[in-house]
Amino acid sequence: MAISIQVNEKRIKGRRSLMLYGHFIEHFHRQIYNGIYDPQNPLSDEDGLRSDILSAMRQIKVPVLRWPGGCFVSSYHWKDGVGKNRQPFFDKAWRVEDPNTFGTDEYIKMCRKIGCEPYICTNAGTGTAEEMSDWVEYCNLESEGKYAKWRIENGSPLPYGVKYWSIGNENYGFWEIGAKSADEWGRLVKESAKMMKHVDPRAELSAAALSDLDWNMNLLKNCGQFLDWISIHEYWDMMAEKNEPATYEQCMAYTDHIDHSVDEVRGMLAAMKLDKKIRIAFDEWNLRSWHHPNVHTVRQGTGKEDYITPRDKNDDNSMYNMADAVFTACFLSAMNRNCDIVGMANFAPILNTRGCIYSYPEGIVLRSTYHVFDLYVNYLGDTVVDLWTPDSVPGMHVTGKNGQETDVETLDLLATTWSDRAGTALAVVNKHPSDSAAIRLSTAFEGMNVVIYRLNGSSPDSYNDVDRTEVSVRKEELGMFRENMEISVEPHSVNVIQLVP
């Protein structure tokens, strides 16, 4: 039976920010070195950046790119990574030597080549408020002070104009170098924000939070007047110690109330009357957490085979199948539905590890999640409008990785329009592993052409790899709209349906 869908284009839920489709890159494994930055590779440009990776990033119009971490940043001192006299250092977060050849200036060049906004995460672990504000000086002051003059000396006469800054990473966590108590965090963020705003009042500041009442209340009470954003992170399929990915069905269990942390933080902001001033930056997220055993633990690995070699397991492309694509689409749809309060989200990371792009010396692989960003960025509208179903959406019974049973709706639905042209675009995600579904467009779209873009593979476990493409987008012309038109969507699929003149 087809599910009837009603769309009211006049009931606007919000104008979503392009930054909901943002990304993140960290000095971890092959994300930077032997990843995007690979000067010896013949595919790299004059600045050592891989041209094929840059091109793939431009295709999905990366709007904002968070850097340099992540846990890495909590022992990173930016001044050691600019200028001519750079020395390798031991990265205490990931326990490897960083050559220090990719720093602020290289990052800004990369952002400009991608065409995205830079978003710098500062060291609130071993760093100080002064060090953070010095970084703002280096990037944003025209010529005042020694740090702006240092940037000019390093070959950049014009300011970088970095608008987005995060004070710290996951400083609430025991795993973070320089972790803080709630009281310590409120004090540090307040003093750091004051100094950073004194350097550049136009800078927009975020600070690490989580859906924890005590932590957030302390942060907002002390620092709410200085902040423009509040940062939250979440991974669902936790695999830091054991690289045992959840099955397709288990991943679907994670889609139940996928935006729970948004609801919780929204409530805190509203209670403190800050929901009109501070927006949520979901600036680190992915279905699957990164695999890095024996590092974020009390007992550390002693041999590299215990804690570095296992990170190669992140590069197994067979792991990134339609479960990842379906989950990613559900997350992005949820953020669109919360676009009144969520203004930024950053998929972690964009390259290698759990990224949507995988690189190897001779080229790249576009994983299933890459095509989700392609669909949402390039085929959906920028205005979220009301959508409802008079019929009950079918559910399916699934068992989560933790053994808990739950019921989830098989369809995830989102309606959008464009602010600059006529038309409607629907995102329709079918989570069911084996059954197709049908929707009926009962709203009148007379005179509109109907086009569907289908992202799928032959099975829930389909994936892309070197010389293997099982997951891709297919365009299908469905003709002119007909009243009560029914459209079939395949199992385990992500779809965008456009109704355009």
Tell me how far apart the alpha carbons of residues 338 and 120 are, in angstroms, rounded to a whole number. Answer: 24
The residue type found at 437 is A
Query: No. of H helices and E strands in the chain?
Result: 11, 25
Known active-site residue 446: no
Known active-site residue 486: no
Q: Active-site residue among 26, 137, 170, 234? A: 170
At 454, phi and psi to the nearest 5? -105, 125
- The answer to whether the bond into 68 is cis (omega within 30° of 0) is yes
Instruction: Judge whether 107 and 49 are in contact, CB under 8 Å.
Output: no
The residue type found at 251 is C
DSSP three-state, residue 273: coil
Alpha helices in 292-402 (DSSP H): 304-307, 322-337, 368-379
Side-chain-facing half-sphere of 331: CA atoms under 13 Å: 32
The separation between the first and the last C-alpha atoms of the chain, rounded to the nearest angstrom, is: 28
Name which of 405, 399, 224, 249 is nearest 327 in CA terms. 249
DSSP class of residue 275 equals T
Residue identified by tokens 């996928």 is: 258
Tell me how far apart the alpha carbons of residues 164 and 203 are, in angstroms, rounded to a whole number. Answer: 6
Cα–Cα distances in angstroms (integers) from residue 338 to residues 144, 265, 481, in the given order = 41, 12, 29
Tell me how far apart the alpha carbons of residues 210 and 484 are, in angstroms, rounded to a whole number. Answer: 44
Instruction: Judge whether 8 and 384 are in contact, CB under 8 Å.
Output: no
Tell me how far apart the alpha carbons of residues 331 and 340 are, in angstroms, rounded to a whole number. Answer: 16
E-assigned strand segments in 217-278? 229-237
Tell me how far apart the alpha carbons of residues 361 and 53 are, in angstroms, rounded to a whole number. Answer: 11
- The helix (run of H) or strand (run of E) holding residue 261 is helix 260-271
The catalytic site residues sit at 170, 284
